[in-house]
A = this chain, B = another copy of it.
Amino acid sequence: MSTLKKAGGRPRHIGPIACRSCDLNEVCRLTGLIAFDAGRSWRSSGALRSLETGAPLFRAGSAANAIYAVRQGMLKTTRVSAEGDERIVGFHTPGEVLGLEAFGMGSFACDAIALEPSVCCELTLPLPGDGRVHELSTAMIRLLSKAAEPRLDLARGSARERVTNFLLDLARRLGSRGFDANQLILSMSRQEIADFLDTRIETVSRVLQQLNREKAIHVRGSRVNLLRLSA
């Protein structure tokens, strides 16, 4: 059934994460507490979306009724490039928010696909605006503004730098959510890492094995143990 067979008896579930470590935490609390005009309110529904590996959370262009936070598992977001091929925009760990771009656009800009069995929290959006002023909590503004922050792409420098930065970035993000930053589980395939880093699967494999030989990491299948890895 699963469209993604993984080698090595890959462990599947990352998370679940505690609400207190989630980027939506503040918004969730506030939306439950603050009273809004009934016609245009948005509620912190307890709605959960469970996804099998390969299942879409949402698709680019589809009408957006909600934004999401990853509760457990891991997802990727993808867009179609100008040349027509699908490219991976990012990977998303528990506690991270997806679909914020839909807030003002009314539709999603990318596909969000589960890399392993995952669960996402769904926050229902207000009805489409009619041109008047919307109420919006400072928490929501912070969220949007933070997401609007210009970011440095990881797909830069040598192949070794790309892979190293990829691992360190993932470790940092997982570590900040309360996971063990030195025990990574790569839910994505080597091919997906290569796509994301704008390189080839063989190159990713070679760099990982090289770091393994140098004892900077210990890699076995989807499990990566960071030993003394630095940029």
Show the binding face of A for B, using Cβ within 8 Å. 34, 77, 79, 81-83, 87, 89-90, 100-105, 109-110, 129, 131-138, 141-153, 155-157, 165, 168, 198, 231
8 Å CB contact of A146 from B104, B133, B153: B104
8 Å CB contact of A83 from B101, B134, B141, B231: B231
Contact A149 B101, beta carbon cutoff 8 Å: yes
Which B residues touch A87, using CB under 8 A? 152, 156
Nearest Cβ distance between residue A39 and chain B, in whole angstroms? 14
Tell me the complex Cα distance, A17–B97, Å: 35
Chain B minimum-CB-distance residue to A100: B148
Which B residues touch A135, using CB under 8 A? 133, 135
Contact A79 B109, beta carbon cutoff 8 Å: no
8 Å CB contact of A89 from B82, B150, B231: B150
Tell me the complex Cα distance, A87–B131, Å: 39
Nearest Cβ distance between residue A68 and chain B, in whole angstroms? 14
Nearest Cβ distance between residue A38 and chain B, in whole angstroms? 16
Which B residues touch A81, using CB under 8 A? 152
The answer to whether A138 and B131 touch (CB under 8 A), given A152-B79, A155-B153, is yes
Contact B198 A150, beta carbon cutoff 8 Å: no
Which B residues touch A144, using CB under 8 A? 103-104, 141, 144-145, 148
8 Å CB contact of A134 from B105, B136, B198: B136
Nearest Cβ distance between residue A33 and chain B, in whole angstroms? 11
Chain B minimum-CB-distance residue to A157: B198
Which B residues touch A142, using CB under 8 A? 104-105
Nearest Cβ distance between residue A29 and chain B, in whole angstroms? 12
Contact B150 A148, beta carbon cutoff 8 Å: no
Nearest Cβ distance between residue A136 and chain B, in whole angstroms? 5
Contact B101 A148, beta carbon cutoff 8 Å: yes
Q: Given contacts A81-B152, A101-B150, list 13 more A-B pairs with CB under 8 A.
A: A34-B133, A77-B150, A79-B150, A90-B150, A100-B148, A103-B144, A103-B145, A105-B142, A109-B149, A134-B137, A141-B144, A144-B144, A147-B147
Nearest Cβ distance between residue A14 and chain B, in whole angstroms? 21
Q: Count chain B CB atoms within 10 A of each CB in A104, A135, A165 and give the residue with the most.
A: A104
